Amino acid sequence: MDRWVGRVALVTGASVGIGAAICRKLVECGLVVVGCARNVEKIRKLGEGLESAKGKLHAYQCDLSKEEEILTLFEWIKSNVGGVDVCINNAGFGDYGTLLGPEATVSAWKSMLDVNVIALCLCTKEAVNSMRERGVDDGQIIHISSLSGHRVPISPGNHFYSATKFCVRSLTEGHRQELRDLKTNIRVAAISPGFVATDFFVNALHSTSSNAESVTDLFSTMKPIDPVDVADSVVYILSTPPHVQVHDILMRPTQQKT
Ligand SMILES: NC(=O)c1ccc[n+]([C@@H]2O[C@H](COP(=O)([O-])OP(=O)(O)OC[C@H]3O[C@@H](n4cnc5c(N)ncnc54)[C@H](OP(=O)(O)O)[C@@H]3O)[C@@H](O)[C@H]2O)c1
């Protein structure tokens, strides 16, 4: 990880869960991390706990469903820390609902597409532009995808979410091909986890207490992946030598059958 010390990483969805774990790990490795999300206070608090670490965490408020806010984020990065060397597209969510039932709404589909797909595309485009205008040839893009981008889950409420992650899988290969066409050594990778112990499922099920109980029940049947395990995969990808391109890491809890 020595070559990344002092370099700049953008982590989206940094306020909680997997994104917060990735921020912590990268700051401990000595990177200058810009963590963004809507709940910026949580990122500030995370940064305060990392003041004695090798790197630094900058907290930035951004609603990734808004194009202008993403563009302003990249301007802020350029003016304040120089540019992006590593871009971790982690922000994402599921909005539980079937495809054909009454809860299937265009606004829910559009919201998931905005964050899980469009923001990921725009951040990647801006990050690659930032790398190329500064002559950075060894940058890294990482998309946090999902096992639901590799198989359609049996659970019907996740079908649209799953479709957004199939998009991410396709975009990972599209990004890889276009980076080769640009004759750059910038790399792109994805990480596709199964169940991770975060608030993701409670949020997807709209946080009611009975839903929270069903998530607790789910996790009582298996030991889920810890967000730190995903952060360790980010460090693995960054640690590989520049001639090695990791494409996609699929990881599930040992006890997860689906
Ligand atoms: N947990 C799992 O089992 C699991 C499995 C496979 C893949 N994943 C993927 O892993 C990624 C992280 O999920 P997680 O489990 O850590 O979920 P989480 O705990 O719910 O965190 C989601 C993050 O995304 C951010 N976010 C959501 N909408 C946003 C918006 N409009 N603008 C800015 N930030 C936004 C949230 O920040 P704010 O609310 O503060 O804006 C939060 O930081 C997602 O892409 C998810 O699809 C999770």
- At residue 145's C-alpha, the angle toward residues 254 and 22, to 5°, is 80
Report d(CA 248, CA 168) in Å as an integer.
11
Q: Is the CB of 117 under 6 A from ligand 1?
A: no
**Contact 88 CB / ligand 1 (< 6 Å):** no
253 lines ligand 1 (CB under 6 A): no
CA distances 35 to 19, 105, 143, Å, are 8, 31, 15
Tokens of 45: 């608090």
- Quick one: average pLDDT of 66-76? 98
How many angstroms is it from 181 CA to the middle of ligand 1?
Answer: 31
Mean pLDDT of the 155-176 span = 95
Question: What's the token pair of residue 117?
Answer: 């797909």
DSSP 8-state symbol, 147:
G
Query: How many whole angstroms from 133 Cα to the centroid of ligand 1?
Result: 30
Cβ atoms within 10 Å, residue 80: 12
Q: In angstroms, rounded to a whole number, what is the distance separating the alpha carbons of residues 84 and 227?
A: 23
How remote is the C-alpha of 109 from its chain's centroid? 19
**pLDDT the model gives residue 208:** 56
Residue 209 has pLDDT above 60, yes or no: no
CA of 32 to the centre of ligand 1 (A): 21
* Per-residue pLDDT tens over the stretch 164-174: 999 999 999 99
pLDDT attached to residue 205: 84
> Rounded to 5, what percent of the chain is helix, strand, coil?
50, 15, 35
* Nearest ligand 1 atom, CA 147: 6
Q: Which atom of ligand 1 is nearest to the CA of 165?
A: 47
pLDDT for residue 206: 74
From 10, 11, 38, 60, the mutation candidate for ligand 1 (largest count of ligand atoms within 8 A of CB) is 38
Top CATH class, 2-251: alpha beta
Mean pLDDT throughout 71-88?
98
Catalytically annotated residues: 161
The preferred substitution site among 18, 67, 164, 249 for testing ligand 1, maximizing ligand atoms within 8 Å of CB, is 18
Instruction: Please give the average per-residue pLDDT across 124-143, as a whole number.
Output: 98
- Is 32's pLDDT higher than 90? yes
Report how far ligand 1's centroid is from the alpha carbon of 126 (Å). Answer: 20
- What are 236's two structure tokens? 């693995």
Distance of CA 175 to the CA centre of its chain: 16
Spell out the domain ranges in the chain: 2-251
Cβ–ligand 1 contact at 19 (below 6 Å): yes
